[in-house]
Chains A and B, each alone.
Chain A
Amino acid sequence: MDQKPSKARIFLDPLFKANPLFVMVLGTCPALAVTTSFESAIGMGLLFTFVVFCSNLIISLLRKVIPDEVRTPCYIVVIATFVTVVKILSSTFLPELYNSLGVFVSLLVVNCIVLGRAEAFASQNTVVDSMLDGLGNGIGYTWAIAAIALVREVVGAGTLTLGKVFTFIPKVTLPILSGYSGSDFSMAIPLFKSSAGGFLVLGFALAIIAAVNNYKDKKAKEKARAAKAAAAAAAKGGNQ
C-alpha cells in the first residue's frame, strides 16, 4: 500500500503527471467538442472544475453514509445535481457561454473524470483531500483543453477572439495566421476547426506527450544504468 500522498502531491499530480486528459485520456468528448474556441474551452473548464470540486466535496462528506450497493446511483445523483446547478447558474449569469457549450454542459454528468474521481478518490478520502483533488483535476483538465483550443482556434480560424463568451472583457479579435485587416493573407487551416481536426490535434498532442514521456523514461533508464554501472565499478574498485 502506497504511502498516503501529501496534500501538495494530491493537488499537483493532476496538473501534469496525472493529467486527466493528456495522461489518463478521460473526458475526451468535451475536449473535442468545445475546443473550437479558446474562450469556450476555458469556460467549460471552469464549469467542470466547479462540478468536480463540489461533487468530490459532497461525496467525500457522505462516504460513510452511502451504502456500497447503491453507491453508483448515489454518486450519479449528486453529480447530476451539481451539473444542473451549474446549468442554471451559467444560463443566468453567463448566457453566452451556456449557449456556446450547448448540450455538453449536461454531458458533464457522464464525464468519466467526474465519476472516476468520485469513485476512486472521494469515496475513500477525507473532505479536504477530496477538495484538493477536485481542484487539481479541474485545473489540470482546464489547461489541457485550453491548450487544444488555442491550437485549434489559432490554426483553424487564424484569429483569436476574446470577449465573445466572457462579455465582461471587451471583444477583440487578434489576427495571427489570418484576418489581417485589408489583406487576404491567410495561413489558417480550416480543417482544424472541423471535427476531423479535433481528432487529429488531440492525437498528435497525445503522441507528443507520449514521445516526451518516452524520452524522459529513456533518460531515466540510462541514468539508472549508469548509476548501477558506476556503483558496480565503485564496488569493484573498492574490492581491489
Chain B
Amino acid sequence: MIKNTYVKCALVLGAICVSSAVLIGGLNTVANIYKETHKSDKAPTQIQDLKPAGTFVEVTENLPQAVTMNSTKITFTSVWALMENGTPVGYAYEINCGKPVKTEVTFTVLFEGPAIAELPELVQPSAINVTVGGDSGYDSNVVKLADGLVAGTSTANDYSSVMSGGTKSQKFFIDGVQAARKDYASRINGQTDTVVQKTPLQDIYGDLYKAEAEDTSFTKLEATTDHCSYEITNRYLVTLTNNTTTVAYAGTVSFQDPEGETDVLKLTAAFSGDKSTVKLDGYKVTKDISWNDYKSWMDGVKAGTTSLEDENAVHTGSTLSTNAVRDMILGMRDAYVANYKSEVEKLFGDKYVSESADEFAAVTGTTDHCSYEITKRTSVVLTDGTGKAYEATVSFQDPEGETDVLKLMAAFSGDEGNAKLEGYKITKDISWNDYKKWMDGVKAGTTSMDDENAVKTGSTLSTNAVRDLLLAMRTNYYATFGE
C-alpha cells in the first residue's frame, strides 16, 4: 500500500469525492428524464382535492393578471377549468396572497355553476383548500374562515368575518377570494378576455368598434337638478371601423329613492350626429341600481321612438329613476353639442365661426393626370373673413393600370387671386402617400400650387392628380367672388 500518508489521504478523499459526484450526476440525469416522461396530466393534488371526482383541465390562455387589492397583491398561480361533457362548468384557481408576516398565504378555490358577471359578490365557493395559511399559529383561523365561506356562515364581501388571531393573514385571504371570484364571474360567462376587460364602448359598438381614446382635456361637469345630482366624469373619442368618430361620456348620477336611500348609477353613453341631430348610439351601465324602467326609456331614445326633449315620455314606470337618468343624459347631450365640431369646422380650426351649405351643382373635369368631381361646397364665416370648403373625388390610373380613387375635403380662405389652403381631410385614401407631403407644403405655404415642378416629390402620378383637383377647386373658389 502507499506509504506516504498525505498522498494516501488525498487519494482516498479524492476518490470518494469523484465517485460521489459521478453517482449524483448520474442520478440527477435519470431523475430529470423521469420527470420529463412522467409529466402528469392530472391536476396537482391541491386542485384535484377540491373535487376529487372532477376532471380539471389547465387554462393556458387569457389568464388573469395579478391584481392589487385592499390589503395585498393577489397573484393567480394557475387556473383550471372543471369540465363536464367538454364544457367548463366551473373554475378552480390557485391563488397566492403574499406574505402577511413571514410565510405566504396560498390556497386553491373552486367555483361552480352560473354567475352574474357584474355581481361577483354573489359567487359562493364550492371548496377551498388552504395550502399555506401564513405563519403557523395564525393559519388555523384562515382555515376556519375558509370553511366558513364554503359553508356560507362567513362572508368574503368585507372583513367582518375576520377573527382575532392572525387578522392580517385572514384579510390577505379574503382579498384572494374576492379576486378569484371576480375573475370567475366573468370567465364562466364566456368573457374570457378578462385580461383586457371589455370596455363599455366596445360593448356599445360591437363590431363597429375600432379604437377609443380618453379626452384628457375634458373637465368634470357637475350639476344638481330637481331629480338628482350627477357628474359627467370622462369623455371618450371613439373611432369606428368606417373611419368615423363619435363621442361618448361616462357619468355618475345619484338620487333619493322612495325609501329615502341614495341610489347611485354609473353609465357610459355614446352620441353621434351633428349639433342639430344628436343621436344616442347606445349606452352601457357600469354600476346598476335595482330600478329597471329607465332602461326601457333609454332604449326608446336609442331607437329613436322616444324624444330626449319630451319630459312626458318618462311615464314609463319608476319616474324617479328615469327622470334622474334623463337629466344626466340631457347633460351629456348638451356637453356633446358644446363640444361638437363639424368636419368643416375642423378644417378651419380656431378661425371658424359658422358655416352653411351652398346650393352647388357638381363640377367635373378631366385632365392629363386624372378625372375629378367636386361634389359639395360649404360657405364658411371666419374670424378674419370668409372661406369655402369643398368635398371632391379624384381618380387616376396608377402604374399598374389600376384606377385609384381618392376622396377628400379641402378648405380655402383668402381673397380672389390670393387663396390659402387652410386644411384638408382625406375621407377615402389611396396607397400612395407622397401627395400628402405636397399638400402639407401647400398648406404651410412653402410650396406653391402653381409650381408644376414642385410636384417632383415622389409619386408624381398621384400628386399631379391631386394638384389638378386642388387647382380646379381654387378656380371655383375665385369664381365665387364674382357671384
- With A36-B136, A190-B137: A167-B45 Cβ-Cβ less than 8 Å: yes
Contact call A77/B13, Cβ cutoff below 8 A? yes
Inter-chain contact B31/A74, CB cutoff 8 Å:
no
In the complex the two chains form, is A85's CB within 8 Å of B27's CB? yes
New contact pairs (11) apart from A73-B13, A88-B31, A193-B136, CB-CB < 8 Å: A36-B136, A67-B12, A70-B9, A70-B12, A80-B20, A85-B24, A85-B27, A92-B34, A170-B52, A190-B140, A191-B137
Given B8, B23, B52, which contacts A67 in the complex, CB threshold below 8 Å? B8
In the complex, are the beta carbons of A88 and B20 less than 8 A apart?
no
Tell me, yes or no, whether A235 is within 8 Å of chain B by CB. Answer: no
- Check B5 against A69 for contact (C-beta < 8 Å): yes
Bits for B36-67, please: 1 = Cβ < 8 Å to A, else 0. 00000000010001001000000000000000
Q: Would you call B195 an interface residue if the criterion is a C-beta within 8 Å of the partner chain's C-beta atoms?
A: no
**A62 and B49 alpha carbons, distance in the complex (Å):** 48
Residues of B within 8 A of A194 (CB): 136-137
In the complex, chain B residues whose CB is within 8 Å of the CB of A77: 13, 16-17, 20
- CB-contacts of B1-24 with A (<8 A): 5, 8-9, 12-13, 16-17, 20, 23-24
Residues of B close to A88: CB separation below 8 A: 24, 27-28, 31
Q: How far is the CB of B41 from chain A (nearest CB, A)?
A: 15
Q: A69-B9, A190-B137, A193-B136 are in contact. Are A81 and B34 (CB under 8 A)?
A: no
Report the count of interface residues on A (CB-CB < 8 A). Answer: 29
Q: Which of B9, B17, B31, B136 contacts A92 (CB 8 A)?
A: B31
- Can you sample 14 A-B contacts with CB below 8 Å? A36-B136, A62-B16, A66-B12, A70-B12, A70-B13, A74-B13, A77-B20, A78-B20, A80-B20, A85-B24, A88-B27, A89-B31, A96-B45, A190-B140
Q: Select which of B16, B34, B136 is within 8 A of A78 by beta carbon.
A: B16
Task: Output the least CB separation between A50 and chain B (Å).
Answer: 13
Determine whether A218 belongs to the interface, using a CB cutoff of 8 Å to chain B: no
A170 to B52 Cα, complex, angstroms = 10
The number of A-B residue pairs with CB atoms under 8 Å apart is 56
Task: Name the distance in Å between A33's Cβ and chain B's nearest Cβ.
Answer: 11
Q: Report Cα–Cα, A63/B31, bound state, in Å.
A: 30
Please indicate the chain A residues that have their CB under 8 angstroms from the CB of B137 in the complex: 190-191, 193-194
CB proximity to B under 8 Å, residues A76-103: 77-78, 80-81, 84-85, 88-89, 91-92, 96
| A171 interface residue per 8 A CB criterion | yes
> Is the pair A74, B16 in contact by a Cβ cutoff of 8 Å?
yes
* Chain B residue nearest in CB terms to A167: B45
Residue B35 CB within 8 A of the other chain? yes
Report the nearest A residue to B19, measured CB to CB: A81
Determine the main DSSP class of A at the interface with B: helix
Size of B's binding interface in residues, CB under 8 A? 21
Which residues of B have CB within 8 Å of A188? 140
* A81-B20 contact, Cβ under 8 Å, with A36-B136, A89-B31, A157-B140: yes
When chains A and B are docked, how far (Å) is the Cα of A91 from the Cα of B31? Answer: 9
Rounded to whole Å, the gap between the CB of B48 and the closest CB of chain A is: 9
| Closest Cβ–Cβ distance, residue B370 to chain A (whole Å) | 74
Q: Which of B133-177 contact A (CB under 8 A)?
A: 136-137, 140
Determine if A1 is an interface residue (Cβ-Cβ < 8 Å). no
> Which A residues lie within 8 Å of B49 (CB)?
171
A65 within 8 A of B: yes
Give the residues in chain A near B13, CB-CB below 8 Å: 70, 73-74, 77
Give bound CA distance, A161 to B53, whole Å: 20
Interface centre among B8, B12, B35 (most CB of A within 10 A): B12
**Docked pose: A113 CA to B13 CA in angstroms:** 22
- In the bound assembly, the distance between CA atoms of A60 and B9 in angstroms comes to 17
Return the contact of A65 from the options B12, B24, B31, B34 (Cβ within 8 A): B12
Bound-state CA distance A170–B49 (Å) is: 10
The 8 closest A-B pairs by CB, nearest first: A81-B20, A70-B9, A92-B31, A194-B137, A88-B31, A84-B24, A77-B16, A67-B9
Per-residue contact bits, chain A 178-191, to B (CB 8 Å; 1 contact, 0 not): 00000000001011
Q: Given A69-B9, A73-B13, A74-B12, answer yes or no on A92-B20 (Cβ-Cβ < 8 Å).
A: no
* CA gap between A203 and B31 in the complex, in Å: 40
Asked if A67 and B31 make an inter-chain contact with CB atoms under 8 angstroms apart, the answer reads: no
Q: Which residues from A are CB-within-8-Å of B16?
A: 62, 74, 77-78
CB neighbours of A92 from chain B (8 A): 31, 34-35
Give, as a whole number of angstroms, the nearest-CB distance from A104 to chain B: 15
- Name A81's closest neighbour in chain B (CB-CB): B20
A167 to B13, CA, bound (A): 40
Given the complex, which residues of B lie within 8 Å of A190, measured CB to CB? 137, 140
Which chain A residues lie closer than 8 Å to B27 at the CB level?
85, 88-89
Min CB distance, A14 to chain B, in Å?
26
CB distance from B130 to the nearest CB of A (A): 12
Bound-complex Cα distance A92 to B113 (A): 36
